[in-house]
Each structure stands twice: as C-alpha cells, then as structure tokens.
Amino acid sequence: MLKGRCLIDPADFTREEFRELFDLAHQIVANPEKYSKSCEGKILATLFYEPSTRTRFSFEAAMLRLGGKVIGFSEPNSSSVAKGESVADTIRTIECYADIAVMRHPKEGAPRVASQYLTTMPLINAGDGGHQHPTQTLTDILTIERLKGSVENKTYGFCGDLKFGRTVHSLIKFLSNYEGVKFILISPEELRVPEYIREEVIRKKGIPFEEVQQIEPYMNQLDFLYMTRVQRERFFNEEDYIRLKDRFILDMEKMKYAREDTYILHPLPRVNEISIEVDKDPRAQYFAQAKNGMYVRMALILKLLGIY
C-alpha cells in the first residue's frame, strides 16, 4: 500500500510495490481514458529549484490528464526561496494547499529533509543534485518492459557522465535487484561511476560488470545502451567540461556495431552525444521513453494518493 508514502530513493519501495506500480502504468498506457477523472479535486504542487523540461512537464501533464490541477514554481526566485525561506518552511506551507508534491533541488538530500517535515502529504523526489532521480528510473523501467517484456537477463551499457549522472545511479541501484543483469560502464576515467555505487551496489550484489573507455567493441553485447550528456552544471572547472563533453558521440557509424535488438535510451536533454541522424533509427527509443515518463508518473500519483 503506497498511499501517503514519499518516494525519495528507489529503496523506499519494495520490489512488489514497484510491480504494482508498473502494472498500473501498463494499464494506463492501454486505456488512458479510464483514468481521466481519477484525480478530480486533487492538487499537485511542483517545486522545481532547478530547470526542467521533461520531468516537470510530464508530472504536470500526468496530473492534468488524471483530471487534477497543478500549482508550483519552475524558478525558485519567483517564490519565497528568494527571500531566504528554508526547504522545511516551504514544504510545510505547500502541505497546506496541495495533496501531493514533487521536488527537484540542486542539493543532494534536500527532498529527504523536506519529507521529514510532512504529516500526510506524499512527496516525490524529481532529482536531487548528482544523487538520485527515482521517477526517471521508473520511466526507464517501463520503457524497458514495453520494449523487451522484462528487465531480467539483460546487458545494460551506460555511457558518458557516470559520475554525476543521477539517472544512471538510480537505474543501476534499481536493476541490481534483478537476476541476470550485467553492466558495461563506458566513460572517461574522470567520469567513472562513484565508488559507493561500484562497491555498495554492484560488487556487493555480485553483479558482473566492466569499466571501459570505448563504445564500439561492446555494442553487440548490449540489450540497451543508456547514453548521458556530460553535465556542465556539475563541473567546477569549465576547462574540464570542454575537454570531456565530446568524448563519446553516438552516430550511425557506431550504430553499425549494434544488434538489431539493441535499443538506445537517454534521459534527455541531449547536447550532441547522440547525433540527430540516429533519431530515425527504430532502435532509438528516447522520445518514446520521454512519453512513458508521463504514464508512469500518472500511476505513481494514483498510487501515492491511494486512488488505485
């Protein structure tokens, strides 16, 4: 039962609870009209302390398609945050007005702190710094299931910024709970996956993995290649960003090495790490992935509000 719960980290829900959530998401995809009035009279608050397109819009579209309403801010300087209001005071105020809230924050742990000041309102972490992005993980898993039926017994390649990429961290943690998964971690030395992910998640669970610095030799091993951008906003040194940002670019020449059933995912936004020419390849599934984000967030809202 997820009613009234917060989703801050993928570890907050059990595998069985996630299964219920994904089953509902698949049902919504098949018959969205059935759920179009489920949230009438409910209000979602979107608290975005960092810029966002897909996450914010998909949450807002999800609530609107469920028949609810949306309030919130997409620029913290348009709220009392600009006057120095704390996260604790902001979230306690929002609970007076909304039934459920979504928060994105540049500081790791901020949504967890906010959740400790709530009484009944569910809070969803929409990304906290370079830490976690659990609803992107839900989006990724729904996409994987729609493409291949199951997440088990698959080889997943992660390419690009694996150090600061919170979507990668969340997805690796989630997939590590399933049988038969293998990871190919493709990045420059400076952007390797953090030690705590490598040791506390991958090695601790005995998951086979390789850390490499080239894409081509491994393309034919992959069920999914998860591309990421090198994130300028996570760098303190502009020179380091410029040096690393074009290290891995997926183009049609590299796609020749991939199998016919190797799918390309990306949490977006992209800069230039996937060439536009790849978009026409049926194996490129990142825009379908973005749409799936709306469906899985519809399911999450319904579950946390106890409606389904």
Query: What local confidence, expressed as pLDDT, does residue 246 receive?
Result: 62
What average pLDDT is seen over the chain? 91
The number of beta carbons lying within 10 Å of the beta carbon of residue 238 is 9
Fold equal for 10-132+293-304 and 134-290: yes
3-state secondary structure the chain: CCCCCCECCHHHCCHHHHHHHHHHHHHHHHCHHHHCCCCCCCEEEEEECCCCCHHHHHHHHHHHHCCCEEEEECCHHHCHHHHCCCHHHHHHHHCCCCCEEEEEECCCCHHHHHHCCCCCCCEEEEEECCCECHHHHHHHHHHHHHHHCCCCCCEEEEECCCCCCHHHHHHHHHHCCCCCCEEEEECCHHHCCCHHHHHHHHHCCCCCEEEECCCHHHHHHCCEEEECCCCHHHCCCHHHHHHHCCCCCECHHHHCCCCCCCEEECCCCCCCCECHHHHHCCCECHHHHHHHHHHHHHHHHHHHCCCC
The percentage of the chain sitting over the pLDDT mark of 90, rounded to a whole number, equals 72
Chain position carrying tokens 């595998």: 15
Look at 8-12, 60-64, 188-192, 232-236 and tell me which has the smallest mean pLDDT: 232-236
Kindly calculate the radius of gyration of the chain based on its CA atoms and give it in whole angstroms.
Answer: 19
Mean pLDDT value across residues 29-36: 98
Question: 6-26, pLDDT tens digit by residue?
Answer: 999 888 999 999 999 999 999
Give CA–CA dist 88/112, Å, rounded: 10
Look at 27-41, 147-161, 167-181, 226-240 and tell me which has the smallest mean pLDDT: 226-240
Side-chain-facing half-sphere of 182: CA atoms under 13 Å: 12
Superfamily for domain range 134-290: Aspartate/ornithine carbamoyltransferase (3.40.50.1370)
Give CA–CA dist 297/64, Å, rounded: 11
The pair phi, psi for residue 183, each rounded to 5°, is -115, 135
Question: 234-258, pLDDT tens digit by residue?
Answer: 444 556 555 555 667 899 999 999 9
Question: 276-289, pLDDT tens digit by residue?
Answer: 999 999 999 999 99
Tokens of 281: 């390849």
CATH number of the domain at 10-132+293-304, out of 3.40.50.1370, 3.30.450.20, 3.40.50.300, 3.90.1150.180? Answer: 3.40.50.1370
Chain position carrying tokens 């490499």: 212
CA-based end-to-end distance of the chain: 10
Domain boundaries, the chain: 10-132+293-304, 134-290
Question: 75-104, pLDDT tens digit by residue?
Answer: 777 677 767 889 999 999 999 999 999 999
